[in-house]
Chain A
Amino acid sequence: MTADLGFGMTLVALVLAVYGGAAAGVGARTGRAALVESAQHAALGVFVLITACFALLTYAFLTFDFSVRYVATNTNLGTPFYYRITGVWGALEGSIILWSWMLALYTLIVVLRHRSTARELYPWALATMLGILAFFLLVMTVAAPPFQRLTPVPADGRGLNPLLEDTGMITHPVALYLGFTGFTVPFAFAMAALATGRVGDAWLALTRRWAIVAWYFLSLGLLIGGWWSYHVLGWGGYWAWDPVENAAFMPWLTGTAFLHSVMIQERRRMLKLWNISLVILTFGLTLFGTFLTRSGVIASVHSFTQGAIGILFLSFLALVLLTALGLVAWRWEVLRSQGDLDSVVSRESAFLLNNVLLVAAAFTVFFGTVFPLLSEAVRGVKVSVGAPFFNQVNVPLFLSLIFLMGVGPLIAWRRASLDNLARNFLWPVVLGVVAAAAAFVLGVRSSLAALAFAAAAFVLATIALDFGRATRARLRAGESLLPAMGGLVRRHNRRYGGFVVHLGILIIALGVTGSQAWSVQTEMTLRPGETAELVGYRVRFDGLTAVEESNHFKVVGAFTVSNGRVLGVLRPAKKFYPQEQSPIAYVDYRLGLKEDIYLVLGDFARDGRQATVKLQVNRLVSWIWIGGAVLTLGALLAILPDRRATA
């Protein structure tokens, strides 16, 4: 019954979405408001139906309804309560429902916010969003139906993938998908701009906040993914340059580029063609991401499945790219820039350089990701392109970007005079050089790490300089310190929000530099009582215990960690799940500001006579998570409504 009801609702939602998209499109073309209103009602209907589907599926999970195949494959009677909820989006079909639900939600918000403010663009944007929603509903109906019936009804289910039994499962997909689907809205408005020919500022102003929100959620999703990888997967790292990770990283790169180039179009009315293309590229990359995850075309640890669904996604990607870019070519004349610039040394140039580096990085990651496929197609030889390649190739790009983070906000628009340059950059450059020297004195021998410190000091100095100067101006005008700073930040929240975001990125960059340059590790087989040592930490193996849990069997190793004084006992484990072929490593760690100590249990003797343990001391990794928190504050600050008087 559940299965049939769910399938029926999905089908109706699909029909409504198709109708709504068509109605909005025709209404936009012919100017008939009644059609557009009808499309709005359809959008509301779709949202209600998908919400109902979601609720129904969750109910099936909570009540162990194994007559639904998806429930049987992803839970069993031992699955804990909260994982029965998060398990709803734990596999392919559920992930499509989640995606569709978010799309429907965003569509509804677009309807509510923009139906009266963007008369010309809104109908086309609505049509685009409903069209995209229709595609995902098609996938849900045809290729990945979550409500397939399973007969005969089994007594117990298979169970959730144990790696997904983690709090990260609650937040990572949700944040990531909010980011991915969030970029649909700027894309929809870009399509509207192309369709109507109004490629000026209207569509940009509308989508600025959307772009920041989407970008933020994507950043959050990536960071949580890194955290999940670090504390669950047992390899001591947070980023593996896995193809699906790359697929989420690329739209982040182009989205960041877009956030910056938007400012040029806002201020100087230039780069219209570029901005529209960037939005299309970003949205295309989000589709590419879902394609990669679900098609199995490039093997990845994240891949859900293989099969017909991949063909559907690739076809849709092709349709979107060819249509959107075709529209760009059609509207070429209107899009071409009437830009002018006084000098090469200016903020415009800094932003252009920022865009070049970000988009080049995105293309590099893309080419590296698909290169194995290309090599096989052309040469018939399979190669791998992994972390060593991506790290080597991207580091110079990212270092340059960090440096630009300091230059961009302070350099003048149009033309930066020598005086302007000296006033803004002399001290920061000096401090940067001092930082590099200090790093060298402190024993840092890696030139890249020293450069990273220099760049970080430089950027920090520019932020402090700007904030300090502005505060001082207010102090001189008679305000006291805290109200001056607060008022400054509130009145220019976009600028200072941006600064705080840059600060967050800086902290993350330092965390990455530290962990890549100075983490150490070792592996040893120990008998009870024996100790392994690494950079001052002593880890003593105490023994093994076996524990039976609701849906798995666990062997835990107890290790006492000390560095002069006893820090505590870490308990890395190996979990044996009946539905999995090999055990899952469950790490234990002790986080710190400067370094984390991290233990992975390897092979062990049944009687506890010995155990192999991998010991890692990871430096500065916590800064990555701290940087993420700072980034959140900055993004929040940046999307607050403008307080400045609009002159």
Chain B
Amino acid sequence: MSRLWRWLIPLATVPVLALLAYGFRANPRDIPSPLVGRPAPRFALATLDGAPLALEAHRGKVVVVNFWASWCYPACYEEAPVLERSWRAYRGRGVVVVGVDIQDKPEAAQKFVRDFGLTFPNAQDPTGTVSVDYGVYGVPETFFVDRQGRIRVKHVGAVTDDVFRETVDRLLAEAAKP
């Protein structure tokens, strides 16, 4: 009997190797968010110009909440023009783009907004409360919030025109609940 049992030793390594091979498909830096499908956390910040910025004020519209930082290169630099373009395209159709800047000095934030000519409201999150509330673990991250105020999609990494268009179109197509 021991003739066959001994071969168990090399065979025992196979499941371990298989598990390691599985690791190639998984991305360890991609953490699924438990907030998808849940109400988007409220926030009340002040934009860089001093105007109030609250999520509640935009209930009924599709809200795109984008977390960025001026030191986040190159991703935030790639998506800033995308966001600005998309904002201008969807502005009148019940869509709001909101930018939240994390871990930046005010001058750096102002410079970023100026350089890219961003016209959508941007606010700073100096204590990190809002970014932690949204479970942000890196920049850039973008949350697509539907008309009922629920987070539907979390996009990690730079947003592209296609991603923006497809997601927002889908959310706009949903009838707003009375």
Touch A–B, Cβ below 8 Å: yes
- A314 near B19 (CB under 8 angstroms)? no
Contact A329:B28 (CB < 8 A) given known A297-B23, A318-B17, A606-B105:
no
Contact A299:B28 (CB < 8 A) given known A314-B21, A370-B19, A377-B19:
yes
- B28 near A297 (CB under 8 angstroms)? yes
Which interface residue of B28, B72, B73 has the most chain A CB atoms within 10 A? B28
The answer, yes or no, to whether A321 is at the interface (CB within 8 Å) is yes
The answer, yes or no, to whether A338 is at the interface (CB within 8 Å) is no
- B26 near A295 (CB under 8 angstroms)? no
- A322 near B10 (CB under 8 angstroms)? yes
- B9 near A325 (CB under 8 angstroms)? yes
Q: Which residue of B lies closest to A327 (CB)?
A: B10
The answer, yes or no, to whether A32 is at the interface (CB within 8 Å) is no
The answer, yes or no, to whether A296 is at the interface (CB within 8 Å) is yes
B15 to chain A, nearest CB (A): 10
Residues in A whose Cβ lies below 8 Å from that of B26: 297, 373, 376-377
B7-39 interface code vs A (CB 8 A; 1 in, 0 out): 101100110110111111010110110000000
Q: What is the interface of chain A mostly: helix, strand, loop, or mixed?
A: helix
Q: Which residue of A lies closest to B29 (CB)?
A: A299
- A297 near B9 (CB under 8 angstroms)? no
- A329 near B6 (CB under 8 angstroms)? yes
- Interchain CA distance A88-B178 in the complex, whole Å: 66
Residues in B whose Cβ lies below 8 Å from that of A370: 16, 19-20
The answer, yes or no, to whether A146 is at the interface (CB within 8 Å) is no
- Interchain CA distance A582-B139 in the complex, whole Å: 12
- Which size bracket describes the interface of B in this complex? 20 to 34
**A-B pair number, CB within 8 angstroms:** 64
A376-419 interface code vs B (CB 8 A; 1 in, 0 out): 11000010000000000000000000000000000000000000
The answer, yes or no, to whether B71 is at the interface (CB within 8 Å) is yes
Residues in B whose Cβ lies below 8 Å from that of A372: 28
Q: What is the interface of chain B mostly: helix, strand, loop, or mixed?
A: loop
- A277 near B9 (CB under 8 angstroms)? yes
- A325 near B10 (CB under 8 angstroms)? yes
CB contacts under 8 Å to B, within A589-607, are 606
Q: Which residue of A lies closest to B72 (CB)?
A: A581
Q: Which residue of A lies closest to B20 (CB)?
A: A314
- Interchain CA distance A297-B23 in the complex, whole Å: 5
The answer, yes or no, to whether A311 is at the interface (CB within 8 Å) is yes
Contact of B10 among A299, A329, A382, A606 (CB under 8 A): A329
A163 to chain B, nearest CB (A): 17
A244 to chain B, nearest CB (A): 13
- B24 near A329 (CB under 8 angstroms)? no
A324 to chain B, nearest CB (A): 8
The answer, yes or no, to whether A328 is at the interface (CB within 8 Å) is yes
Contact of B17 among A317, A374, A581, A606 (CB under 8 A): A317
- B73 near A581 (CB under 8 angstroms)? yes
Contact A373:B22 (CB < 8 A) given known A277-B9, A581-B73:
yes
- Interchain CA distance A370-B29 in the complex, whole Å: 15
Contact A332:B6 (CB < 8 A) given known A298-B23, A581-B72:
yes
B20 to chain A, nearest CB (A): 6
CB contacts under 8 Å to A, within B114-159, are none
- Interchain CA distance A645-B72 in the complex, whole Å: 69
Which interface residue of B6, B7, B14, B73 has the most chain A CB atoms within 10 A? B6
Contact A325:B20 (CB < 8 A) given known A299-B28, A382-B32, A582-B71:
no
- Show 18 A/B contacts (Cβ-Cβ < 8 Å), sorted by A: A291-B20, A298-B28, A299-B29, A311-B24, A314-B20, A314-B21, A318-B13, A322-B10, A325-B9, A328-B9, A329-B10, A370-B16, A373-B19, A374-B19, A377-B26, A581-B71, A581-B72, A582-B71
